Amino acid sequence: MMSISDSEEFNVKCFIEEVRKRPELWDSSHEEYKNREQRQNAWLDICSVFIQGFKEKETEEQLIGGRELQQKWKYIRDAYTRQVRLAALKGLGEGSNKYIYGKYLRFLNVSSMENKRRNWSPPSTSEVSASNNVKT
């Protein structure tokens, strides 16, 4: 089986777009995000797009190809996340994002912001009253 990475025809921008179309793979606020079967089906769809004759291949070849695409996505996503985090630490604006696929991955920022909002909780009454009693 030819490696997906070795294929000259592999188009990373198209790959990112195929993942973007399936928010159950990347958006933790999506209703199907926790549905393993739904995510698995989404990856099978992506495999069918990028692996020629995917549905006719033996199960083992399908598994290898699927894992390879998932690893490719993890690498792309993690590289983007590192770049965004580094830019934030250095106080650089969004325009400073140097990652080659950064502009195609901005949809991940929406998911990240939603997670931050969901994890935020207002201070408790005791915390507020304690901070009001502090003299400055």
Tell me: the pLDDT tens digits for 68-77? 999 999 999 9
Give one word for 88, left, alpha or beta, with left for phi > 0 and alpha for psi -120 to 50.
Answer: alpha
Three-state DSSP class for 53? coil
Greater pLDDT, 7 or 16: 16
Residue-level pLDDT at 119: 47
- Please state the pTM of the whole predicted model: 0.73
Tell me: the pLDDT tens digits for 97-134? 578 999 999 999 875 544 444 444 555 555 445 445 54
Tell me: the pLDDT tens digits for 10-35? 899 999 999 999 999 999 999 999 99
